[in-house]
Amino acid sequence: MTEAKPDVVIDTAAFHNVPVCETDAEASYRVNALGARNVAEIAGEVGASVVYISTDYVFDGAKQAPYVETDRECPLNVYGASKVAGEQLVRIFNPRHYVVRSTGLYGSKASGKGHTFPRKMLQLAEEKSEVTVVNDQFCTPTYTHDLAEQLIDLVETENFGTFHMTNEGSCSWFELTRHIFDLAKVKTPLLPVSSSAFPSTVKRPSYSVLENAHLKALGLNRMPHWKDSVSAYLKEVGVL
């Protein structure tokens, strides 16, 4: 960065394997907190602003209403706690910062998990006689194409601070899958189930809907409704 002298640094690096974070907290904090601090600090030294991509997991989901940027963080797991620490360190080490929280990300490229949720559901529909998806966990599915365009608009304003950046609306993972199947004309039966059908050792927020309150206050919010974005995604990957 000293040689390149960028104007803006977008830090997408994250250690986000949530179960592994629980068993290796040191690695989680080393990447999500100290690593974020290092990037923010050197960006500041070369005169660049920094974007830190954060997560809905900084909240516990107990609010049961869309979270705004001023709501108090209360993570349930190590991953969420390490991201809260990362946010705080970025704010301290680079005043020219954008802390951007999003949720339910999917796009044309596979995530670090090796797949995206819509693609995984369509694959399961081909492989199984029926598909079961939880109907008691809520978020706003967010298309990475929309997120990237919104990020570009934001960093050009130099309105620094904390921002929620998701598509509009909310749904359960079951509702999302139902919409995907309907658009793709998938006939495989889809069944709603409780989270208890997929037991996990990691506590996760059951409600992860974020409100783009700061973007809207500045007149910058351009995020489409999640249903429109799912359709755009399926067209991009050739399903529609």
The residues annotated with a catalytic role in the active site are 79
Q: Which amino acid is at 173?
A: W
CA atoms within 13 A on the CB side of 216: 13
**Alpha-carbon gap, residue 208 to 237, rounded angstroms:** 26
**Alpha-carbon gap, residue 181 to 125, rounded angstroms:** 9
Whether 134 contacts 169, CB under 8 Å: no
List the structure tokens of 163. 């921002």
Report how far apart the first and last C-alpha atoms of the chain are (Å, whole number): 41
CB contact set of 41 (below 8 Å; sequence gap of 6+)? 93, 94
